[in-house]
């Protein structure tokens, strides 16, 4: 009984942040503002609302999110997510894989391509198709450690139209290192304690790194 009570208390303390369609979520009669907070946010700017503190999120679900972002802004989006996740926390990622049926349709239309494996739909929204290698490079560059990264391939059969649909998705699981926060704190402390001349050099290096990240 004691264990069940503890589990019940943990469940009711669980909070979820949902950044899509906040009005729709809030108008639902099941919406509980004490446990769920819906809001609009552009993660490519690197800024999250004040109530999402650094190192505060246990799990992030990214389901067909990154593919809608321009490749040159994906690094900024993942760095923003990395800052929000707790050390030891996870990102669960699912998105379009290379040579998915949807990409083959884009290839057939020819005029929809705007970049390498990057296409625009008729409504103006965009879609990127990932390889496992690209996915791993993006997440590891942001600082995550790989738990799982693989293709999910399926053949779906439409019996009414008598056609097969070959789907390819990426599914992966990424973990923020346990020592990530400690490393950041130690770096900041070491920088503060450096002599004035050294501090100037360190600041220049930091600025250069920031510029490089922004450019990428």
169 sits in the region (left: phi over 0; alpha: psi -120 to 50; else beta) called: beta
Is 108 inside a domain boundary? yes
Is 48 inside a domain boundary? yes
Is 171 inside a domain boundary? yes
Is 8 inside a domain boundary? no
First to last CA, the chain: 54
Return the closest-CA partner of residue 181 out of 53, 55, 90, 56: 55
Is 201 inside a domain boundary? no
DSSP 60: E
Q: Is the pLDDT of residue 151 over 60?
A: yes
pLDDT at 56: 93
> For 113-137, what is each residue's pLDDT tens digit?
999 999 999 899 999 999 999 999 9
Is 212 inside a domain boundary? no
pLDDT at 2: 60
Q: Which domain holds residue 76?
A: 16-178
pLDDT at 4: 57
> For 12-67, what is each residue's pLDDT tens digit?
444 555 555 455 556 677 777 778 888 888 999 988 888 899 999 999 999 999 99
Q: What's the number of domains the chain is made of?
A: 1
Q: pTM of the predicted model, to two decimals?
A: 0.71
pLDDT at 25: 52
pLDDT at 26: 60
pLDDT at 158: 86
182 token code pair: 């400690």
> For 74-106, what is each residue's pLDDT tens digit?
999 999 999 999 999 999 999 999 999 999 999
**168-172, 174-178, 211-215: range with lowest mean pLDDT:** 211-215
Is 142 inside a domain boundary? yes
Which residue has better confidence, 36 or 149?
149
pLDDT at 31: 76
DSSP 63: E
Is 161 inside a domain boundary? yes
The whole-angstrom separation of Cα 171 and Cα 151 is 6
For residue 111, give the CATH number of its domain: 3.40.50.150
- On whether the CB atoms of residues 92 and 60 are closer than 8 A, the answer is yes
């Amino acid at each position: 009984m004691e264990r069940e009570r503890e589990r019940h208390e943990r469940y009711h303390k669980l909070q979820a942040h949902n950044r899509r369609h906040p009005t729709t979520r809030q108008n639902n009669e099941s919406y509980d503002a004490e446990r769920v907070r819906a809001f609009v946010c552009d993660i490519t700017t690197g800024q999250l609302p004040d109530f999402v503190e650094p190192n505060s999120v246990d799990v992030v679900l990214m389901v067909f999110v990154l593919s809608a972002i321009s490749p040159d802004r994906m690094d900024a989006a993942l760095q923003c997510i990395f800052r929000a996740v707790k050390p030891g926390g996870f990102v669960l990622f699912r998105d379009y894989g290379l040579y998915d049926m949807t990409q083959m349709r884009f290839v057939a239309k020819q005029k929809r391509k705007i970049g390498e494996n990057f296409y625009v739909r008729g409504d103006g929204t965009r879609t990127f198709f990932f390889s496992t290698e690209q996915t791993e490079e993006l997440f590891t560059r942001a600082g995550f450690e790989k738990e799982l990264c693989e293709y999910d391939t399926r053949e779906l059969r439409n019996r009414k139209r008598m056609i097969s649909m070959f789907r390819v998705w990426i599914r992966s699981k990424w973990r923020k290192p346990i020592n990530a926060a400690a490393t950041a704190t130690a770096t900041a402390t070491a920088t503060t304690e450096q002599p004035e001349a050294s501090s100037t050099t360190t600041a220049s290096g930091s600025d250069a790194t920031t510029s490089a990240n922004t450019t990428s």
